[in-house]
Amino acid sequence: GTKIAAVPRVAVVVFLLRGKAVLLGRRRSSVGDSTFALPGGHLEFGESFEECAVRELKEETGLDIDKKKMELLTVTNNVFSEQPKPSHYVTVFMRGVLADGDDQLPQNLEPTKCDGWDWYDWANLPEPLFWPLEKMVKSGFNPFPNSPQE
C-alpha cells in the first residue's frame, strides 16, 4: 500500500471539574480501547487550545464549558508504539468547568467512540485509566485548583 509519513499529532483534552469529580468516558478505539479517558481530540489547523477544548467537549458530550475559566495545566508526550498502527501525540491538558453552574447532563454523542460519560471522584477513579492519564495520576498529578501538586 501507499506509505504515509508518521508524524506526531497534537491532541487537546479537558479535565472538566465538578466538585471533587472529573468527567471520564470509556474509550472505543484502537488506541486505549476500554480504558477511561478525558473528553478531547485532535487540534485542527488554526485553532487555539481553548477553541479545540470547547469544540471537542461539545461534539463528544454536548456540554458547554465556561470559556473564561479555561486554563492550560500541562503537556505530555505520548508515544503509542505498541498499537497495531503506531501513533505519537503531544497532548495538551486543559482544565475547565461547566458554563452556567453544574446542572448540564453529559450525552454520549459519539457512541462508536465512547461507551458513555460520567462523573468520577478524583479519590476513587475507575480502572483501567487510559495510559497517558494513568501515567499522570501515578506521578501525583492533580488537576484541581489549590492542590499541593499544582
**Residue 135 C-beta: closest distance to Mg ion, Å:** 18
Pattern of binders to ligand 8DG over 58-97, x per CB under 6 A?
Answer: --------------------x----------x-x------
Instruction: State the residue for C-alpha cell 501525583.
Output: 140
Is residue 130 part of the contact set for ligand 8DG (CB under 6 A)? yes
Given Mg ion, ligand 8DG, none, residue 31, with its beta carbon under 5 to 8 Å by kind, binds ligand 8DG
Is residue 143 part of the contact set for ligand 8DG (CB under 6 A)? no
Is residue 37 part of the contact set for ligand 8DG (CB under 6 A)? yes
Given ligand 8DG, Mg ion, none, residue 11, with its beta carbon under 5 to 8 Å by kind, binds ligand 8DG
Backbone angles phi, psi at 3, to 5 degrees: -85, 130
Which one of the spans 99-107, 119-127, 128-136, 138-146 is the region binding ligand 8DG (CB under 6 A)? 128-136
